[in-house]
Homo-oligomer: A and B are copies of this chain.
Amino acid sequence: MSTSISELIAEKIDAMPASERRAAQTLIANYPLIGLRTVAEFSGQAGVSSPTILRFVSRLGFQSYPEFQSALQEELAAQVQSPWNRAATIQRPKDGATFPLMEAAIENIRETFQHLSAQQLGDVTDALSRNRARLYLLGGRFTDPIATYMAAHLKIVRSGVTHLAGQESHWRDQLIDMGKKDVLLVFDIRRYQDSLLRFAEKAQARGVEIVLVTDQWLSPIARFARHVIAGRTAVPSPWDSSAALFLIAETLIAEVTRKLEQSSADRIRDLEQLRDN
């Protein structure tokens, strides 16, 4: 519980002797600048002696004056950096060069998650958390790195995770091991790749449960998918943005990790041990 310092003062000011109260009022009146100066300056401004200032900060619960100052600084920095008054800073004309691509990407992310129900997210998480089943990840030309990223994390929290990399023929050889109860997570955005479609079709034929992460126009793989998550990708750039998909991936990683909490904690510990040796 981080009560702000001004709250702290308001709370204790009534229990203070006169001089310390003067210190408190001076601080409130010049909040927070005077508190960042030296004890001498503070005491001078308040018209009390230095020890009074020290007793004052001590009464607030700080062990030393520097500690009190650090608290003030952090509070200040937190206020300035917080996003909702960040907006004020951004709109300054001098700054000007706000980043259109970034703004668009954020808008995409918001919209993407707005269309994503907790239900849907839960279903997909369940599918990806089925420890007994195998989980295969696959992506397209530009989305494969996202599949790689996801696989890198999921391999840590659970077993049976395979990233289908390299040549198409190589994926196909993996089909032999894929069956009912197994899960295939595919990323596919425009221009949709035939190779992915063909593979998804075959996987579905073998009873594999397919999760598709695609763009808002939906890859044809949607036809074979049990779950479909659609993200926005349009930005003012020659290229589409996969940032929303990336965040979808991170969200799934986090959810699966949380869901497998106990078992993954053990697993992570074992992995750390292996690494140390």
Contact with B along A85-108 (1 / 0, CB 8 A): 111111011100111011001110
The reply to whether A105 and B239 form a contact with Cβ atoms under 8 Å apart is no
Known: A33-B77, A80-B76, A152-B145. A238 touches B250 (CB 8 A): no
Contact of A80 among B80, B145, B251 (CB under 8 A): B80
Contact with B along A110-128 (1 / 0, CB 8 A): 1101101010000000000
Count of interface residues, chain A, beta-carbon cutoff 8 Å: 64
Q: Does A169 lie at the interface of the complex (its beta carbon under 8 Å from any beta carbon of B)?
A: no
Known: A76-B80, A110-B106. A238 touches B254 (CB 8 A): yes
Q: Does A142 lie at the interface of the complex (its beta carbon under 8 Å from any beta carbon of B)?
A: yes
Known: A88-B84, A152-B142. A101 touches B241 (CB 8 A): no
Contact of A84 among B76, B85, B238, B239 (CB under 8 A): B85
The reply to whether B142 and A145 form a contact with Cβ atoms under 8 Å apart is no
Q: A237 contacts which chain B residues (CB < 8 A)?
A: 250, 253-254, 257
Q: A235 contacts which chain B residues (CB < 8 A)?
A: 250, 254
Q: Does A148 lie at the interface of the complex (its beta carbon under 8 Å from any beta carbon of B)?
A: yes
Q: A141 contacts which chain B residues (CB < 8 A)?
A: 152
Contact of A145 among B74, B149, B251 (CB under 8 A): B149
The distance from the CB of A93 to the nearest CB of chain B, in whole angstroms, is 6
**Complex CA distance for A107 and B83, rounded to whole angstroms:** 6
Q: A89 contacts which chain B residues (CB < 8 A)?
A: 79, 82, 84-85, 114
Q: Copy number of this protein in the oligomer?
A: 2
Nearest CB in chain B to that of A258: its residue: B238
Q: Does A133 lie at the interface of the complex (its beta carbon under 8 Å from any beta carbon of B)?
A: no
**Complex CA distance for A36 and B243, rounded to whole angstroms:** 35
Which one of A73, A92, A257 has the greatest number of beta carbons of chain B within 10 Å? Answer: A73
Known: A97-B118, A145-B145. A73 touches B33 (CB 8 A): yes
Chain A positions within 8 Å of B, measured between CB atoms, are 7, 32-33, 36-37, 70, 73-74, 76-77, 79-90, 92-94, 97-99, 101-102, 105-107, 109-111, 113-114, 116, 118, 141-142, 144-146, 148-149, 152-153, 235, 237-239, 241-243, 246-247, 250-251, 253-254, 257-258
Known: A7-B94, A142-B152, A243-B250. 13 other contacts (CB 8 A): A33-B74, A37-B70, A37-B73, A76-B76, A76-B80, A83-B111, A85-B85, A86-B111, A101-B251, A105-B109, A153-B239, A235-B250, A238-B254
**Which 8 A-B pairs have CB atoms at the shortest separation, nearest pair first?**
A145-B145, A237-B254, A145-B149, A97-B118, A85-B88, A145-B148, A85-B85, A33-B77
